[in-house]
């Protein structure tokens, strides 16, 4: 399939995660896109049945594009811990239970590392961003940021596992970091920088 370009205009953010909505708006709105989230549009949350970040990203964007008739952008992301063989990975949200408790999820990461007597605390955040058009055309881009985990959790500025993640070359966690700084180096920013290739705008 040939690559398709996305014209500035209304874009549906196919996510129910408020932290992601904030970060996706910060990335796309300066480029002239009007981002409307699945929360605002009251879209159904599809079940994430694929076994990869890119698969789940496409699944979520496709559901939103079909429901709205508009191009939809989705984000499937998670924390991959080396000593836990990449867990929680695509199950990062599910590790927090329902209703979500990320302090419990971070504690679970810590206890699993301790149970293995792990000395390697390296980890990375992964993000797949997908854009799907109502006719089914899809584009997907994966990014990551490498770093390590530190306990106990520190900072309340990000979301999810941010309070235990320290990016390479940094000393503070994503939870302690100024949001603009996180946006510039995150897994989401890395995927976004690749996605820019399909954005038809003179602002990139
Ligand atoms: O500390 C974090 N900083 C980040 O920058 C980040 N990006 C993702 N995550 C976590 O990874 C899971 C994604 O799961 P996920 O892609 O299924 O998203 P979600 O279910 O929250 O919303 P939706 O987009 O599916 O509606 C969720 O647990 C997120 O908290 C992050 N944690
Ligand atoms: Mg999800």
Structure tokens at 159: 């979301």
In this structure, which ligand is nearest to the CA of 90?
Answer: 1
- pLDDT score of 204: 61
CA 64 to CA 31: how far, in whole Å? 21
Whether 76 is catalytic is: yes
Number of neighbours of residue 50 by Cβ within 10 angstroms:
15
Q: Which CATH code is given to the segment(s) 10-198?
A: 3.90.950.10
CA 80 to CA 97: how far, in whole Å? 18
- Per-residue model confidence as pLDDT tens digits over 126-182: 999 999 999 999 999 999 999 999 999 999 998 999 999 999 999 999 999 999 999
- Per-residue model confidence as pLDDT tens digits over 55-95: 999 999 999 999 999 999 999 999 999 999 999 999 999 99
- pLDDT score of 1: 67
50: Cβ below 6 Å to ligand 1?
Answer: no
ipTM > 0.90?
A: yes
88 preceded by a cis bond (ω within 30 of 0): yes
Closest of 55, 62, 56, 54 to residue 38, by C-alpha: 62
What is the phi-psi region of residue 166: left when phi exceeds 0, alpha when psi lies from -120 to 50, beta otherwise?
beta
22: Cβ below 6 Å to ligand 1?
Answer: no
Q: Which of 42, 51, 75, 76 is catalytic?
A: 76
Residues that constitute the known binding site: 15-20, 47, 76-77, 159-162, 182, 187-188
């Amino acid at each position: 399939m040939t690559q398709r370009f996305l014209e500035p205009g209304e874009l549906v953010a196919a996510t129910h995660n408020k932290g992601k909505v904030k970060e996706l708006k910060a990335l796309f709105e300066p480029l002239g896109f009007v981002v409307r989230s699945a929360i605002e549009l009251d879209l159904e949350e599809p079940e994430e049945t694929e076994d990869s970040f890119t698969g789940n990203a496409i699944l979520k964007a496709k559901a939103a594009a079909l429901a709205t008739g508009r191009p939809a952008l989705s984000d499937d992301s998670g924390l991959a811990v080396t000593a836990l063989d990449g867990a929680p990975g695509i199950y990062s949200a599910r590790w927090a239970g329902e209703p979500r408790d990320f302090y419990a999820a971070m504690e679970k990461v810590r206890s699993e590392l301790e149970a293995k007597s792990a000395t390697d605390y390296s980890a990375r955040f992964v993000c797949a961003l997908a854009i799907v058009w109502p006719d089914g055309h899809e584009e997907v881009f994966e990014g990551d940021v490498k770093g390590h985990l530190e306990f106990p959790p520190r900072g309340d500025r990000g979301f999810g596992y941010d309070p235990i993640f320290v990016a390479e070359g940094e000393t503070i966690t994503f939870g302690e970091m100024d949001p603009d700084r996180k946006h510039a180096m995150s897994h989401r920013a890395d995927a976004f920088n690749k996605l820019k290739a399909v954005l038809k705008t003179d602002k990139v």
